[in-house]
Amino acid sequence: MPELGVRSALYQMALLFGALFMSQAVLARPLVVLAYGDSLTAGYQLPPGQGFAPQLEKALKAKGRDVTVVGAGVSGDTSTQGRARVNWVLSGMKQKPDLVVLELGANDMLRGQPPKTARANLDAMVKAFKAKGARVLVAGMRANPTLGKAYVTEFETMFPAVAKANGVSLYPFFLDGVAAQPGLQLADGMHPNGKGVQVMVKRILPAVERELALIK
């Protein structure tokens, strides 16, 4: 009978170690960051590895983070187009994102579309990502002053408003440090070059790290 007790104890220990191993394996999985946006996240006209997603992943790994950054930027997308593909993108991911960097609205502004439309779209996207359990970092944008004070104010205030309404974080200006800096832009004067993306990543990195630190 003592032998049965020993075997039972060994069996229970095996189950315990197995459970511990499995829980550690789950905890050890790489976190997934989804960079969701337009040409600014798509790496427009940049060589492989120079876009926002690969440079952000490289910077995070250099900080010792086990993370995969998935690029889901589509050049030319407005917030309406971005909203339309949210479910399609999420359904195609093997692992759901832990954090989404949401960068859309610039093309709405360039086309003079109503900020209230972009605001509704951003709000819907934030809610969709949160429903999948992801944290969201809303990346803001600035408007061209030639559109008029009223438009500029409505456009630029929608990003903090959406973030606040949904209880998520805000990164005020995605092109911080790069806008109006010719040496950090492509010839079109709008999109960042490889060095420009490096500056963007350096500026946004602390905000991304703060979000990742809050993931349980």
For the stretch 82-137, pLDDT in tens is 999 999 999 999 999 999 999 999 999 999 999 999 999 999 999 999 999 999 99
Confidence at residue 25, expressed as pLDDT on a 0 to 100 scale: 43
Mean pLDDT computed over 134-152: 98
Residue 13 domain-assigned (yes or no): no
Query: Is 188 noted as a catalytic residue in this protein?
Result: yes
Give the pLDDT confidence score for residue 13 in this predicted structure. 44
Question: Tens digits of per-residue pLDDT, 57-84?
Answer: 999 999 999 999 999 999 999 999 999 9
Residue 137: inside a domain: yes
Overall domain count for the chain: 1
Residue 91 annotated in active site: no
Residue 56 covered by a domain: yes
Q: Which residues of 38-49 are buried (b: 16+ CB within 10 A; e: fewer)?
A: bbbbbbbebeee
> What's the 3-state SS for 81-122?
HHHHCHHHHHHCCCCCCCEEEEECCHHHHHCCCCHHHHHHHH
The pLDDT mean for the chain works out to 91
Task: Pick the closest to residue 141 from 7, 9, 38 (CA basis).
Answer: 38
- Note the pLDDT tens digit of each residue in 184-201: 999 999 999 999 999 999
CATH of the domain at 208: 3.40.50.1110
Asked about 39 being catalytic, the answer comes back as yes
- Asked whether the beta carbons of 169 and 211 are under 8 A apart, the reply is yes
Is there a domain that residue 100 lies in? yes
199 within 8 A of 177, measured Cβ to Cβ: yes
- Which residue of the set 38, 39, 108, 123 is catalytic? 39
Q: Is residue 192 part of a domain?
A: yes
Confidence of residue 28 (pLDDT cuts 50, 70, 90): low
Q: Is the pLDDT of residue 156 over 60?
A: yes
Domain that holds residue 55: 30-213
Separation CA 119–CA 182 (nearest Å): 30
